[in-house]
Copies of this chain bind each other. A is one copy, B any other.
Amino acid sequence: MDLVRDTLAGDFRAIARLLRRIEDQPLASRPLLKALYPHTGKAFLLGLTGPPGAGKSSLVDRLVTSFREMGLTVAVVAVDPTSPFTGGAVLGDRVRMQNHATDPGVFIRSLATRGSFGGLTPAVRGVVQVLDAAGFDRILIETVGVGQDEVDVVRLAQTTLVLTVPGLGDGIQAIKAGIMEIADILVLNKADRPGAEQALQELKAMMEMNRSLGVEKPWHPALVKVSARTGEGLNELLERIEAHRTFLTRERPDLLEAKRKDHLTRLILDLVREEAARRTQETLRQNRTWEDRLVQVLERRLDPYTLAEELMDQKHNDPDTP
C-alpha cells in the first residue's frame, strides 16, 4: 500500500492509516506530509465553534447532508479538548454522525488534544493537510470554544461560524468579545426554543454596537437564526457561507491570500520551535558536560536563561547537527 498515492486517490483506509501514522510518528512521517503538500490548497475550510450544548454536532450533521446534496465531498475534523475530567464527548458525536457512516463522500475524524508534539493546532493542521490533499471539497473543523487553543484551531478555517443558543448563561453575555471577533457568521442555534427572538435582538444590538464602535471591517459578520433539529434557517445559513466564500475568493482574494500567508508563517514558526527543542534534547542527551550545567542550575550557581542561551549557541558550533 502506497500511503501517499492511495491518499491522493481518496482511499479511506489509506487516509486513516496515514493520519494514524502522523499522530504516532510525527517526525518520521514528515516526508509523507512533504509529498502531499503540492496537492493541498483546494479544499474550503469551514470552522465551527461554540460553548458546550450549543448543538455544534447536530449542525455539522446538517451541513454535511446539505453539502452532499450539492454533490460536494466533506471531511469533518471534530476536536475534543479532552478534559481530564469530562473528556470523551466527541466519541458520542462520532456515534451520532453515523448517519454518514456508509457515505463514501464523507470522512469523519475525531481528534483529541494531546500533550505531545507541539500541541493542538499543529496536530489539526496536519490532519487538515491530509484531508485537503485527499481531495475533499469541504473540510469542517468543529471545536468546543473553551480556550485559546480551540480558538486558534478554528482560525485555520477560511470561514468561521460561531454558535450560540438562547438562554445560555445570561443570554448574550455568553459570547465574549474575543470569540465575536473571529466570527464571519454568527449562528443562533435552537431557534425553535423560547427566548430565541429576544436572543436574536440582543445579538443584533451587540453587532450594531460593535460596528459603530469598531474600525470599518471589509466583511461584516452575518447573523443567522437556525434550528439544527428542525432544519429551519439552514438554507439561509448555507447561502451566507457561500456568500462569504465568494467574498474571499472573488471580491477580496487579497484578504484570503493574507490569511493564508499568516497561517503559513505560524506553521513555520511552530516547526522551527519543535525542531529547536528536538535538537536541544539531542544535545543534552549526547553530551554529558551539559548534565553538569543542569546541576549547576539546580544548585542556583547558574540561571536557566543563561543555560538555554548556551545550548542554542552550542548548536551553532556542533558539526553533528544538520
Interface set of A (CB-CB < 8 Å, partner B): 30, 33-34, 37-41, 50-51, 81-87, 113-115, 145-149, 151-152, 169, 174-176, 178-179, 257, 260-261, 264-265, 267-269, 271-277, 280-281, 284, 294, 297-298, 300-301, 303-309, 311-313, 315-316, 322
Contact = CB atoms under 8 A, between A and B. Distances in A.
A38 B301 CA distance: 7
A49 to B, nearest CB: 9
Given A176-B84, A300-B37, A316-B316, A272 B261 contact: no
Contacts of A148: 82, 84, 113-115
Given A38-B303, A86-B51, A312 B275 contact: yes
Given A175-B85, A305-B271, A312-B275, A297 B34 contact: no
Given A84-B176, A151-B84, A298-B264, A34 B305 contact: yes
Given A81-B147, A85-B145, A300-B41, A307 B178 contact: no
Nearest to A303: B37
B179 A85 contact: yes
Contacts of A300: 37-41
Given A114-B148, A146-B146, A298-B260, A272 B312 contact: yes
A272 B311 contact: yes
A269 B81 CA distance: 24
Most B CB contacts (10 A, CB to CB) among A114, A148, A151, A277 go to: A148
30 contacts: A30-B305, A34-B303, A37-B303, A38-B301, A38-B303, A40-B300, A41-B300, A51-B83, A51-B86, A81-B146, A82-B147, A82-B148, A83-B176, A84-B148, A85-B174, A86-B169, A113-B147, A113-B148, A115-B151, A115-B152, A146-B147, A147-B147, A267-B304, A269-B280, A271-B305, A272-B276, A272-B311, A275-B312, A276-B312, A309-B322
A312 B268 CA distance: 10
A85 B51 contact: yes
A283 to B, nearest CB: 10
Contacts of A51: 83, 85-86
B269 A281 contact: yes
B267 A277 contact: no
Nearest to A83: B146
Nearest to A268: B308
Contact of A178 (B84, B275, B277, B315): B84
